[in-house]
Amino acid sequence: MSDSWIVGINPVEGALSNDAERVREVLVENGQRNPRVHELAERAKALKIPVHHRPREQLDRVSGEARHQGIVALYEPPPVASESDLPDLLTVAGSDALFLVLDGVTDPHNLGACLRSAAAANVTAVIVPKDRAVGLTPVVRRASAGGADRVPLVAATNLARAMRTLKDAGVWITGLAGDTEQAIYDVDLKGPVALVLGSEGEGMRRLTRENCDFVARIPMPGSMESLNVSVATGVVLFEALRQRGAR
């Protein structure tokens, strides 16, 4: 995988804290006065990472649509995991396995927010379809607030096959949809489980839904019919943690 830019204070801090050996250089905007930016620059120097001061225009160029806050880092991402890595992830997690499956989340802010919630919930891995997801862009990394560096992302060539691998290993799979009567609070989420959420507009695809053991909804007594996918992710992940007695 080619190098990419990590953009903004929190994402750069996350990379320096969790994966500094993959940070190749840090660029700081000329005249930058933010003390946190200076602190990160000094930390990078202490880690023997080159730090360069550059015009704002150069940081704007490498950041794209993401807001850089005066600092960016050139990063060599680790190889994205694939279905072949699932058995090892399952072995390590054991009965505590908690997977998040995102079927076609294409908005980078939503994917980043889902990764943030997944990291907070100590999710075993986030699984996405290789060809129907946005990938780890600078915007995703920034929205994840460091979550992208803390939870494995599995890009599955065949999502249904990856789900069957989980099921064959004893993982119970629950999909989220609004057109079912069963509430997520009535599903047993203890033990090895996977939670599946669909894309922002279409929800789960038919084959994805067919590979779920259960389909449940988040009860919404108010006037809204649906939640943003990242909000729904937070709700279901922390319901699983509540049932598991997490502290």
Give CA 168 to chain center in angstroms: 24
Q: Which of 194, 204, 193 is nearest to 229 (CA)?
A: 204
Give the number of C-alpha atoms closer than 13 A to the C-alpha of residue 162, restricted to the C-beta side. Answer: 28
198 in a known ligand binding site:
yes
Give CA 46 to chain center in angstroms: 29
Q: Which of 124, 205, 203, 211 is nearest to 162 (CA)?
A: 211
Q: How far apart are CA 238 and CA 122, in angstroms?
A: 10
227 in a known ligand binding site:
yes
Q: How far apart are CA 202 and CA 175, in angstroms?
A: 14
Q: How far apart are CA 42 and CA 147, in angstroms?
A: 23
By the 10 Å C-beta count (0-12 exposed, 13-18 middle, 19+ buried), 35 is classed as exposed
31 in a known ligand binding site:
no
Q: How far apart are CA 102 and CA 238, in angstroms?
A: 16
Q: Which of 120, 116, 106, 122 is nearest to 143 (CA)?
A: 116
Q: Which residues make up each annotated binding site? A: 198, 218, 227
Q: Which residues make up each annotated binding site for S-adenosyl-L-methionine? A: 198, 218, 227
